[in-house]
């Protein structure tokens, strides 16, 4: 299954790459170069297809758990001052997504959207310390039944050039459902209450709507 945000790119890529592959039969006389070029086009198409994959993740919503919003690797766990919305200290859990990860963003908890804002910005590498403040990003706050307000931030990386955010202020959202998409590499930061138990460690691989980031195991 592929994410709807990739349908246009997949369709155009298929037409262009297949067209180039077929044209190679007529314009490249050297068989070795011709076949190498066609194989390259095939693998490039596979790379695009895997990037926009959207595996089904069925979960039973649980208000006592905060699930990972994305697939990736934990690159930061620390207490920080969150200066956009809370303006106080929060527990930051940061997840880096490589180009081979699933890039669907899923709601980490059920609740009501209290804040949703897009910020244009730079395209520093996603693991850069200032990327959370300087890069193109969206900030979303969910008022959860158990933990109060939690914040997640989608951050574009050096390659990502478009963030898709479905969260709208005032709407009720369900844990694990699609919250958006970040195209071609990125990072997501979670800002949680200081007293919430964190269940992941640095460099741990996490799976969206599967790995429990915080709360009860």
Could you tell me if 118 and 164 lie in one domain? yes
Number of structural domains in the chain: 2
Could you tell me if 200 and 96 lie in one domain? yes
Gyration radius from the chain CA atoms: 19
Flag whether 153 is in a domain. Answer: yes
* CA 65 centroid distance within chain: 19
- Which of 34-38, 99-103, 145-149, 183-187 shows the lowest mean pLDDT across its residues? 183-187
Could you tell me if 84 and 179 lie in one domain? yes
List, for residues 143-163, the tens digit of each pLDDT value: 999 999 999 999 886 555 578
Could you tell me if 138 and 204 lie in one domain? yes
Which uninterrupted H or E stretch holds 97? Answer: strand 88-97
Q: Is 186 a catalytic residue?
A: yes
Could you tell me if 11 and 43 lie in one domain? yes
Question: 122 forms bridges with which residues in the sheet?
Answer: 135
The strand pair at 205-206 and 162-165 is best described as unpaired
Q: Judge whether 97 and 188 are in contact, CB under 8 Å.
A: yes
Could you tell me if 79 and 44 lie in one domain? no
Task: HSE, CB side, 13 Å, CA atoms: give it for residue 74.
Answer: 21
**Measured between alpha carbons, how far apart are the two ends of the chain, in Å?**
29
What pLDDT score was predicted for residue 128? 54
List, for residues 110-129, the tens digit of each pLDDT value: 999 999 999 886 655 555 55
Q: Is the pLDDT reported for residue 199 higher than 60?
A: yes
Flag whether 58 is in a domain. Answer: no
Flag whether 57 is in a domain. Answer: no
CB atoms within 10 A of CB 59: 14
Q: Residue 17 is part of which domain span? A: 4-51
- CATH at 104: 2.70.70
Flag whether 56 is in a domain. Answer: no
The strand pair at 88-97 and 72-82 is best described as antiparallel
Could you tell me if 108 and 198 lie in one domain? yes
Flag whether 59 is in a domain. Answer: no
Task: HSE, CB side, 13 Å, CA atoms: give it for residue 89.
Answer: 6
39: CB partners within 8 A, 6+ apart: none
Could you tell me if 93 and 150 lie in one domain? yes
Q: How many residues does the chain have?
A: 217
Could you tell me if 27 and 127 lie in one domain? no
Q: What share of the chain in percent tops pLDDT 90? A: 52
Could you tell me if 145 and 204 lie in one domain? yes
Nearest-angstrom CA–CA distance, 172 and 206: 25
Its pTM stands at: 0.83
The catalytically annotated residue of 68, 94, 132, 186 is: 186
Could you tell me if 97 and 171 lie in one domain? yes
Q: What share of the chain in percent tops pLDDT 70? A: 89
Flag whether 23 is in a domain. Answer: yes
């Amino acid at each position: 299954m592929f994410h709807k945000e990739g349908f246009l790119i997949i369709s155009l890529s298929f037409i262009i790459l297949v067209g180039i592959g077929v044209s190679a039969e007529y314009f490249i006389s050297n068989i070795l170069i011709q076949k190498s070029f066609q194989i390259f086009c095939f693998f490039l198409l596979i790379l695009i297809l895997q990037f926009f994959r959207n595996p089904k993740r069925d979960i039973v919503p649980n208000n006592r758990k905060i699930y990972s919003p994305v697939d990736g690797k934990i690159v930061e766990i620390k207490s920080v001052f969150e200066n956009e919305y809370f303006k106080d200290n929060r527990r930051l859990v940061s997840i880096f997504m490589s180009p081979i990860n699933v890039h669907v963003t899923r709601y980490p908890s059920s609740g009501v959207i209290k804040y949703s804002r897009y910020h244009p910005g730079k395209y520093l590498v996603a693991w850069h310390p200032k990327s959370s403040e300087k890069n193109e990003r969206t900030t979303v706050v969910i008022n959860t039944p158990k933990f109060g307000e939690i914040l997640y931030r989608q951050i574009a990386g050096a390659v990502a050039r478009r963030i898709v955010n479905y969260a709208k202020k005032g709407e009720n959202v369900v844990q694990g459902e699609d919250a958006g998409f970040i195209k071609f590499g990125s990072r997501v930061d979670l800002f949680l209450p200081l007293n919430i138990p964190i269940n992941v460690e640095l460099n741990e691989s996490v799976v969206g709507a599967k790995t429990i980031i915080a709360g009860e195991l």
